[in-house]
């Protein structure tokens, strides 16, 4: 990524595009042990008023978590993930995750398991948008080693 | 539903009634949702790996000898899977039964808030308790009308607090979907063509062939109706739960939300409940199919109330447009309007729709009194459908 510096409030994270395939929806549902028919059975999803199967919330949760640890690197640990779902993720769509650093505090705040020094607690606002609208909005708190992190400069593209 | 329907006014229960259900639901706030729940599997590497594969998550902390579980898997370890949940409380089951019985049978998760106290490691046993934190008042959303139920779960690993998981779901009755290309009131509606044929209205004696009506849009929600038409049976849906008849065909019951249904065959008797006369623009395809010539003159679009009580948009044949009257008794017949389209249409019982046909024009002043613009809009509203 373009810059390598400690995260600061206002930084934007490089976007992550997730192709919403049928396979992803079904694999995510099963990996999360969610056998609700609307996540794998088109006929039954339609009978319940949905145009197609759609992604379950646990998969969205997992993708949001992955997005943040992808951005902040191997030393990052998720502390809090709070998400709200909006427009469903239907097969064939693309969800683009974007994030903005809201707050950075030095030290691992309230992290019993990781009292080591040299960490920062970062709060990020995340949006996952698809062609219908915002699939997910949320706030993620994670601890990161105090040091360089990959954030996007202007218009940064792919991942490292 | 996708990017389309407005939430307002579609589906949902009768909002004029006081919400007695909400009062019942509220009583469950603060009650346990799960007590002594136990994860079906200990935290384990295969499930972690399957999860990471599905998510495309390559974070170093989740692999190798020191692997921890992705924190976002917190809820996964508590899932009942195909064999069902353990430790779920009676109160929780009752709450859901109340909602299901009232027709709020669909469920969608809307919020998930997790806090991770410590990492979960392979081999650790998961236990959990959950409480019903709150039940919302009845809300109408784009999906439909229903109630938000929020639970909070405390998850332990080998007996130690490992995280909290707050989860909000919407239990709802789906909003009605509109069938594109079909009238809001019926698939059998002779929907005006989106654009008239260029030569409309001037088809003279030498006209090559009759204009064709738009094809009905047949989908899984209304296929049974058209199969009935093919067998010359006009089928009305009947709710499998509350027996309410409904027409046009819909995937669920407007009265109780049940997706179960069967059909009853209409007797074919009915009366004209309302009508409009379409003057302009001309649509030659809708000239009465039993007319000798293909004229593009005015035609009546009728809303027929069937003897069974449901209403269908259709067309009356065998009577001039200006002789159609509210209350006119009509009888169903199937007519082939072109080589590959048959439609259920109606014919007056009294010959030529004469004075014996009903109580007359009524207070709306008869068809010709209505300005063309108003009539056109009325037709568009009921027939044009697809946006």
Distance CA B172, CA B168 (A): 13
Q: How far apart are the first and last CA of chain B?
A: 12
Nearest by CB to B115, from A38, A57, A80: name it. Answer: A80
Chain A residues with CB under 8 Å of B58 CB are 70
Distance from CA of B190 to the nearest CA of A (A): 26
Contact B302, B375 (CB under 8 A): no
3-class secondary-structure state, position A90:
coil
User: Which of A16, A18, A28, A33 has the highest number of chain B CBs within 10 A, making it the mutation to test binding with B?
Assistant: A33
- With contact defined as beta carbons under 8 Å apart, do B188 and B266 qualify? no
pLDDT score for A123: 97
CA distance B82 to chain A (A): 7
Q: According to the model, what pLDDT value does residue A105 have?
A: 92
Q: Do A81 and B112 touch (CB under 8 A)?
A: yes
pLDDT digits (tens, 9 = 90+) for B265-316: 999 999 999 999 888 777 777 765 555 444 567 888 999 999 999 999 998 8
Dihedral of CA atoms B111, B112, B115, B120 in degrees, nearest 10, equals 180
Point out which residues pair with B263 in neighbouring strands: B237
Residue A103: inside a domain: yes
Residue A156 lies in a domain: no
Residue with the bigger pLDDT between B141 and B331: it is B331
Chain A residue nearest residue B111, CA to CA:
A84
Residue % of chain A over a pLDDT of 70: 82
Q: What is the CATH number of the domain that holds A31?
A: 3.10.129.10
Element of type H or E holding A15: strand A12-20
Token duo for residue B70: 């992705």
Distance CA B302, CA B189 (A): 9
* Residue from the list A58, A69, A131 with its beta carbon closest to the beta carbon of B59: A69
Structural domain that includes position A98: 3-151
Q: Give the β-pairing of B341-348 and B329-338.
A: antiparallel
Of B372 and B53, more confident: B53
Domain boundaries, chain B: 20-174, 223-384
Tell me, what DSSP letter sits at residue B77? G
Backbone torsions φ then ψ of B23, nearest 5 degrees: -60, -40
Is the predicted pLDDT of residue B361 greater than 50, yes or no? no
Q: Is B292 left (phi over 0), alpha (psi -120 to 50) or beta?
A: alpha
Q: A113–B117: do the CB atoms touch at under 8 Å?
A: yes
For residue B112, which residues of chain A lie inside 8 Å, CB to CB?
Answer: 57-58, 61, 81-83
Instruction: Report percent pLDDT > 90 for chain B.
Output: 50
Pairwise CB contact (< 8 Å): A112 & B3: no
Would you place residue A48 in the very low, low, confident or very high pLDDT band (cuts 50, 70, 90)? Answer: confident
Element (H, E) at B331: strand B329-338
> What residues of B are in contact with residue A31 (Cβ under 8 Å)?
47, 50-51, 53-55, 76
Beta-bridged to residue B156, according to DSSP, are B127, B161
Give the mean pLDDT of B192-214: 42
Which range is least confidently modeled, A32-41, A99-108, B36-45? A99-108
Asked if B300 and B277 count as a contact pair (C-beta separation under 8 A), the reply is yes
Q: B74-128 pLDDT, tens per residue?
A: 999 999 999 887 778 889 999 999 999 998 988 889 999 999 999 999 999 999 9
Residues of B in contact with A83 (CB under 8 A): 111-113
Which residue of A38, A50, A61 is in closest CB contact with B72?
Answer: A61
Tokens at residue A29, please? 């549902």
Residue B22: strand, helix, or coil: helix
Binary contact (B174, A59; C-beta < 8 A): no
**pLDDT tens-digit readout, B173-191:** 877 644 333 322 222 333 3
Question: Using the beta-carbon criterion (under 8 Å), do B174 and A48 form an inter-chain contact?
Answer: yes
Residue A159 included in any domain: no
Which residues in chain B touch residue A77, judged by CB atoms under 8 angstroms apart?
Answer: 61, 71, 119
Question: Would you say A96 and A15 are in contact if contact means Cβ atoms under 8 Å apart?
Answer: yes
What per-residue confidence (pLDDT) applies to A153? 43
Shortest CA gap B28–chain A (Å): 24
Q: What's the confidence (pLDDT) of residue A17? A: 97
Closest by Cβ to B106, choosing from A30, A49, A58 = A49
Region B185-200: mean pLDDT is 30
Q: Which of A31, A47, A82 sits opposite B113 (nearest CB)?
A: A82
Task: Supply the pLDDT for residue A2.
Answer: 40
Q: CB–CB of B81 and A28 under 8 A? A: no
Within 13 Å, how many C-alpha atoms sit on residue B296's CB side?
Answer: 21
ipTM of the shown complex: 0.87
CATH of B20-174, one of 1.10.390.10, 3.40.30.10, 3.10.129.10, 3.40.50.920: 3.10.129.10
B-chain CB neighbours of A84 within 8 Å are 110-111
Q: Please list every residue in chain B whose beta carbon sits closer than 8 Å to the beta carbon of residue A46.
A: 220, 251
Overall average pLDDT of the A84-103 stretch: 96
Beta bridge partners of A101: A124
What's the total number of domains in chain A?
A: 1
pLDDT in tens, A56-75: 999 999 999 999 999 999 99
Q: Closest approach of chain B CAs to the CA of A10, in angstroms?
A: 23
At residue B206, does pLDDT exceed 60? no
Is residue A133 within 8 A of residue A87, CB to CB? The reply is: yes
Arithmetic mean of pLDDT over chain B: 77
pLDDT at B351: 54
CA of residue B347 relative to chain centroid, distance: 31
**What distance in Å separates the CA atoms of residue B51 and residue B67, rounded to the nearest whole number?**
13
Q: pLDDT at position B281, please?
A: 75
A91 in a domain, yes or no?
Answer: yes
List chain A residues with CB under 8 Å of B170.
Answer: none
Q: Residue A3: what are its φ and ψ, rounded to 5°?
A: -115, 150
Listed range (A131-140, B119-128, B148-157, B299-308) with the worst mean pLDDT = B299-308
**pLDDT exceeds cutoff 50 at B7:** no
Strand partners, A129: A96, A134
φ and ψ at B200, to 5 degrees? -55, 135
Query: A64: nearest CA in chain B?
Result: B72
Share of chain A above pLDDT 90, in %: 72
Do residues B120 and B68 touch, judged by C-beta distance below 8 A? yes
- In this predicted model, which residue has the larger pLDDT, B52 or B300? B52
DSSP state of B71: G
- Which residues of chain A neighbour B5 with C-beta distances below 8 Å? none
Taking only the tens place, the pLDDT of each residue in B349-360 is 865 434 333 333
- Cβ(A91)–Cβ(A27) below 8 Å: no
Answer yes or no: do A28 and B54 touch at CB < 8 A.
yes
B321 vs B344: which has the higher pLDDT: B344
Angstrom distance (rounded) from CA A116 to CA A111 = 10
Read off φ and ψ for residue B29, nearest 5 degrees.
-60, 135
Are B364 and B378 in contact by the 8 Å Cβ rule? The answer is no
Binary contact (B1, A49; C-beta < 8 A) = yes
pLDDT score at B10 = 32
Find, among B213, B221, B239, the residue nearest to B310 by Cα.
B239
Is A85 in contact with B109 (Cβ distance < 8 A)? yes
């Amino acid at each position: 990524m373009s810059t390598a510096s400690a995260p600061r409030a206002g930084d934007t994270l490089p976007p992550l595009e997730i192709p919403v395939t049928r396979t992803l929806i079904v694999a995510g549902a099963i990996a999360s042990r969610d056998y609700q028919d609307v996540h794998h059975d088109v006929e039954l999803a339609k009978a319940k008023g949905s145009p197609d199967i759609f992604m379950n919330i646990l998969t969205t949760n997992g993708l949001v978590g992955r997005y943040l640890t992808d951005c902040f690197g191997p030393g990052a640990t998720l502390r809090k993930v709070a998400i709200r779902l909006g427009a469903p993720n239907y097969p064939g769509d693309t969800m683009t995750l974007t994030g903005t650093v809201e707050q950075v505090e030095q030290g691992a705040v309230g992290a019993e398991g990781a009292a080591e020094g040299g960490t920062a607690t970062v709060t990020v606002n995340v949006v996952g948008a698809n062609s219908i609208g915002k699939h997910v909005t949320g706030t993620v708190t994670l601890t990161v080693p105090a040091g360089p992190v990959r954030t996007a400069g202007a218009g940064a593209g792919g991942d490292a | 539903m996708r990017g389309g329907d407005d939430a307002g006014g579609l589906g949902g229960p009768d909002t004029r009634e006081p919400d007695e259900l909400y009062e019942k639901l509220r009583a469950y706030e603060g009650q346990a949702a799960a007590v002594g729940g136990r994860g079906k599997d200990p935290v384990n590497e295969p499930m972690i790996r399957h999860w990471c594969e599905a998510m495309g998550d390559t974070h170093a902390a989740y692999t190798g000898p020191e692997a921890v579980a992705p924190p976002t898997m917190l809820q996964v370890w508590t899932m009942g899977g195909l064999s069902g949940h353990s430790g779920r409380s009676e109160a929780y089951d009752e709450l859901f039964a109340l909602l299901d019985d009232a027709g709020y049978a669909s469920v969608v998760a809307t919020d998930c808030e997790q806090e991770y106290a410590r990492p979960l490691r392979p081999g650790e046993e998961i236990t959990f308790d959950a409480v019903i934190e709150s039940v919302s008042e009845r809300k109408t959303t784009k999906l439909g009308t229903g109630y938000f139920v929020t639970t909070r779960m405390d998850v332990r690993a080998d007996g130690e607090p490992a995280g909290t998981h707050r989860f909000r779901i919407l239990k709802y009755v789906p909003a009605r979907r509109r069938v594109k290309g079909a009238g809001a009131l019926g698939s059998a509606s002779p929907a005006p063509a989106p654009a008239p044929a260029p030569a409309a209205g001037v088809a003279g004696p030498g006209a090559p062939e009759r204009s064709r009506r738009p094809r009905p849009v047949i989908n899984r929600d209304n296929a049974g109706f058209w199969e009935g038409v093919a067998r010359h049976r006009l089928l009305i849906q009947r709710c499998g739960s509350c027996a309410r008849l409904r027409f046009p065909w819909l995937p669920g019951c407007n009265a109780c939300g049940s997706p179960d249904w069967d059909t009853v065959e209409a007797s074919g008797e009915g009366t004209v409940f309302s009508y409009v006369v379409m003057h302009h623009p001309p649509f030659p395809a809708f000239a009465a199919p039993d007319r000798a010539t293909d004229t593009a003159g005015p035609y009546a679009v009728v809303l027929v109330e069937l003897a069974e009580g449901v209403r269908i948009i259709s067309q009356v044949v065998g009577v001039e447009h200006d002789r159609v009257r509210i209350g006119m008794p009509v009888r169903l017949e199937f007519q082939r309007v072109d080589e590959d389209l048959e439609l259920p249409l109606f014919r007056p019982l009294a010959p030529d729709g004469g004075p014996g046909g009903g109580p007359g024009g009524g207070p709306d002043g008869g068809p010709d009194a209505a300005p063309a613009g108003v009539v056109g809009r009325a037709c568009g509203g009921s027939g044009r459908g697809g946006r």
